[in-house]
Amino acid sequence: MSAWTPKLVEARLSEAAFVLKRLPEPRLSGYFSTWPEVVQSFADKVGQEPKPMRVLPSPAAISRMEETLTWTAGLEPIDGQIVWLRAYGYRWREVCRAVGLQRSSAHHHWVFGLCFIAHKLNRRHVSQHLSMQQVIDLARADDPAL
């Protein structure tokens, strides 16, 4: 990969959230049932809704997801929360309610988070003295489509 852009970061975070949703639930070890499996006949199954099929993610997708989980470590907690809520597909109204910001401010934090992660992945030093808008402008200089 030559250079990370905020769009690529957003796509990878969305993929990681999708993988996290598809992982099986953790089970407590040591608990088991001594009851036999219930075998249902065709008459018992008539009228029931089919169970949704659960497709487990591939090992490569899980590895990418594990790598992605560490990306928000350098962000402020509110920025990381907004980035992950959007990756999970939450609407802006729900994001704003969760973090207590207006939509335009929450969007600004989200774009800053994506740009900051892209700079970090490209191994560029981002000074602590730069404002959020300056970090976004640096990313726009690299990718005018942003």
pLDDT tens digits, the chain, 146 residues: what are they? 568 999 999 999 999 999 999 888 777 777 777 888 888 888 888 888 887 777 888 999 999 999 999 999 889 999 999 999 999 999 999 999 999 999 999 999 999 999 999 989 988 888 778 888 888 888 877 776 66
Strands (E), the chain: none
How many Å apart are CA 11 and CA 139, to the nearest integer?
16
**Alpha-carbon torsion (102, 104, 110, 112), positive or negative:** negative
Instruction: State pTM to two decimals.
Output: 0.78
For residue 112, give the nearest of 3, 2, 6 by alpha carbon. Answer: 6
Which residue ranges make up each domain of the chain?
6-22+56-142
Helices (H), 4-58: 6-22, 42-45
Q: How far apart are the first and last CA of the chain?
A: 19
